[in-house]
Amino acid sequence: MATAFIGLEAHPTWAKGRVACAIGTESRTSDRDDLLSKSNDRAFDNALVVELERILRIIPVNPGFKYVKDDNAFATDTTIVTGTTGTVLIGLKLVNELLKPDQGGVAVACVLAHECSHIFQFFSVNQYYERLEASTQRLRELHADLLAGFYMGKRMGAAAGAMRSVEKAMMDFGDYNNADPKDHGTPGQRSAALDKGYVFAMNGLKFDDAAIEGEKYVRVL
């Protein structure tokens, strides 16, 4: 569960396997010495654990979690924390930026759900990570956005105002580099994927059904 922040490290480095991220930029984090179990804010750490526990009740995964000093967030299929499967790496610089505006907390929740969705892609029996392989990361990233939107729908219900803030933050992560292998989708595509996931949740779909329908959706988005 989310309390695995402070578990034992099982591997000397985290970037041994597949890695996905929230923003289409290179990681500046490559060594386990950069991995942190706590930030400098106990209240934030406690709030993050609560949020992660909520996410894991919706997204069927069991990753470990670590902080990194980066302005991005990552998911890897490498297991760092003993007793977990895969790892989510939370960029402290990124979350500090996301927390500045009003509704910043829900934007952080969405990024965490996005990374947990990558963990789901890695280990799902439906092999979404492999099935969504293309010349860029766009399909994988939009699918993770959609599943994050699904989580936000379950988390917030009909709180449309907060969801607009989430979509604005995620749209800022979009790009127009459609030939770049790291392309994550345009701002409009990322917003549309989040919105579709939110609608799936509001319509009562189960998570696995949202993942199946989400794959179809992002392929034509």
pLDDT at 24: 57
pLDDT at 13: 52
Say how far apart CA 34 and CA 93 lie, in whole Å: 13
Stretch among 109-118, 158-167, 207-216 having the lowest mean pLDDT = 158-167
pLDDT at 163: 78
Task: Identify the three-state secondary structure at position 63.
Answer: coil
Q: Is the model more confident about 48 or about 165? A: 48
Tens-digit pLDDT profile for residues 79-116: 988 999 999 999 898 888 888 776 668 889 999 999 99
Q: Over range 156-175, report the average pLDDT.
A: 74
Whether residue 172 is predicted with pLDDT greater than 60 in this model: the reply is yes
pTM of the model: 0.88
Say how far apart CA 145 and CA 110 lie, in whole Å: 8
pLDDT at 16: 63
Say how far apart CA 12 and CA 210 lie, in whole Å: 36
Q: What contacts 101, CB < 8 A, 6 or more positions away?
A: 107, 165, 169
Say how far apart CA 198 and CA 178 lie, in whole Å: 25
pLDDT at 69: 87
- Dmax over CA atoms of the chain, in Å, equals 44
Element (H, E) at 14: none
Which residue from 200, 171, 169 is spatially nearest to 188, judged by alpha carbons?
A: 171
Read off the tokens for 7.
Answer: 């578990």
Q: Over range 13-42, report the average pLDDT.
A: 67
Say how far apart CA 55 and CA 181 lie, in whole Å: 29
**Polymer length in residues for the chain:** 221
Question: What sign results for the dihedral spanned by CA atoms 134, 138, 143, 148?
Answer: positive
Whether residue 139 is predicted with pLDDT greater than 80 in this model: the reply is yes
Torsion of CA 210, 215, 218, 219, to 10 degrees: -150
The most confident of 86-100, 125-139, 178-192, by mean pLDDT: 125-139
pLDDT at 6: 42
pLDDT at 11: 42
Tens-digit pLDDT profile for residues 1-25: 444 544 444 444 555 678 887 565 5
- Buried residues in 184-211 as b, exposed as e (16+ CB within 10 A): bbbbebbbbbbbbbbebbeeebebeebb
Query: Which amino acid makes up residue 194?
Result: L
Query: Which amino acid makes up residue 170?
Result: M
Cα atoms found within 13 Å of the Cα of residue 40, Cβ hemisphere only: 4
- φ/ψ of residue 64, rounded to 5: -85, 165
